[in-house]
A and B are shown apart, each in its own frame.
Chain A
Amino acid sequence: MSRLSLLFASLAFSPNTYSDEQNIWKQIREGISGYSAVNSQESEILIQASGTQWLTIRNELIAGTGAWLLALTVLALAVFYLIRGRVKLTEPPSGEMIERWSKSERWLHFYTASLFILLAITGLSLLYGRSFLISWLGHDSFSQYADIAKIVHNYAGPLFSVGLVMMGMIWFQDNLFDKTDITWFKQYGGMIGNQHPSAGRMNAGEKVWFWLLMTAGVLVSITGMNLDFPNLGQYRLIMQISHIIHSVSAFLLIIGALGHIYIGTIGTEGALRGMITGKVDKSWAKQHHDLWYQQINKEKQNFLKPSGNSAKYGSKIQ
Chain B
Amino acid sequence: MTSGRLVEYEGGGDETRSNPWLAELQQQMFVEINPADANNAGVKHGEQVWVEGPEGGKIKVMAFVTNRVGRGLVFMPFHFAGHYQGKDLRNKYPEGCDPYILGESCNTVFTYGYDSVTAMQETKVSLCRLQKA
Contact = CB atoms under 8 A, between A and B. Distances in A.
> Is any CB of A less than 8 Å from a CB of B in the complex?
yes
Interface in B3-47: 8, 24-27
B73 to A, nearest CB: 19
Contacts of A37: 8, 25-26
9 contacts: A35-B66, A37-B8, A37-B25, A37-B26, A38-B24, A38-B25, A39-B24, A39-B25, A39-B27
Interface in A131-185: none
B interface secondary structure, majority: loop
A265 to B, nearest CB: 58
A37 B6 CA distance: 11
- Give me the 5 closest cross-chain CB pairs, A-B, nearest first: A37-B25, A39-B27, A37-B26, A38-B25, A39-B24
Given A35-B66, A39-B24, A39-B25, 6 more contacts: A37-B8, A37-B25, A37-B26, A38-B24, A38-B25, A39-B27
A35 B30 CA distance: 15
Interface residues of B, number: 6
Nearest to A35: B66
B30 to A, nearest CB: 12
Interface of A: 35, 37-39
A122 B25 CA distance: 39
Contacts of B25: 37-39
Contacts of A38: 24-25
Contacts, number: 9
A132 B8 CA distance: 49
Contacts of A35: 66
Interface of B: 8, 24-27, 66
A60 B27 CA distance: 42
A38 B23 CA distance: 11
Nearest to A40: B24
B128 to A, nearest CB: 23
A38 B27 CA distance: 10
A150 B24 CA distance: 31
A34 to B, nearest CB: 11
A38 B24 CA distance: 8
B40 to A, nearest CB: 21
Nearest to A37: B25
Nearest to B8: A37
Contacts of B8: 37
Contacts of B24: 38-39
Nearest to B68: A35
Contacts of B26: 37
A37 B66 CA distance: 14
B7 to A, nearest CB: 9
A38 B8 CA distance: 12
